[in-house]
Amino acid sequence: MKCSPFLFLILTLIYCTNTNAQTGSLKKKWTNMLDADLTKWEKFIGVPHTSLELEGYPKGDGMKGIPIGLNKDPLNVFSTIQENGETVLKITGQIYGALSTKEDYSNYHLKLQFKWGEKKYAPRLTAKRDNGLLYHGTGPHGAFWNVWMRSNEMQVQEADMGDYYALAGAKSSIPVIKDTDKLWLYTPKAPLVEVTRAKQRGGIEKPNGEWNTLELICIDDKSLHIVNGKVVNVLNNSRITVDGKDIKLTNGKIQIQSEGAEAYYKNIQIKAIKKYPSEYLKQIE
């Protein structure tokens, strides 16, 4: 469908207005995002794999087919538990899914802790354990693989924490060089290249079962992926394209994935931010 210049302007104004509104809703102090009842979140569950014992829902390969949908979680893929007096988000990984914020956010610092569980599920039984933080999620649920929104992804995968993936048409410019596998590798001070995937350099994750600290800092159309205090990816000029015209990708929902592996999150906090903390700024200058 073609989009007239006037309609494109209206869409842009709506998008920018929403961005400004959400910026004002955050506080300068850390706000806890995780409680036992997940009151700040909603669930979207994707297509059940044929290997699952689940009556009443059409099954597929986990990506193609009919998703279970919004706020229907028959296997309790997303839940909370208490561990040492702390509320912990438990993700079984049985079905691809998303735990999505009810609000849109922009200009923020997100900080949380993450660790792997033991179990793995089809279609990723023999693949690396996988999860992810999606951000600036826009449009409908299910735009990517019938489960996730169009968004940027901070990859949370064994040996690849902090990689960048673009979902359903998002894109960014990142300082990168080609590595020995001919993949784009984040390299500070390298030329900016428009990419939909960029690897981090690795070696900064903790052993499976131990807690990692993950941080995501988003200011305007730029974002930092931070793993255990190390900046591992820097996105510039994040955007989507509407009728051949680029619109800055600066705000949207935050989604936590379920992607075939048992995983745990805790201490999920967010606050408003206007400039990068000095300890991270010096890593990218």
Q: What is the pLDDT of residue 22?
A: 46
User: What pLDDT, on the 0 to 100 scale, is given for residue 180?
Assistant: 85
For residue range 221-266, what is the model confidence (pLDDT) as tens digits? 999 999 999 999 999 999 999 899 999 999 999 999 999 999 999 9
CATH topology for 5-284?
Answer: Jelly Rolls (2.60.120)
Mean of the pLDDT values across residues 113-140?
98
Q: In the predicted model, is pLDDT for residue 3 greater than 50?
A: no
Residues 6+ apart with CB under 8 A from 279: 229
Instruction: Indicate the pTM of the whole model.
Output: 0.91
Per-residue pLDDT reduced to its tens digit, 17-46: 444 444 447 999 999 999 999 999 999 999
pLDDT band at 101 (very low <50, low <70, confident <90, very high): very high
Task: Name the β-bridge partners of 124.
Answer: none
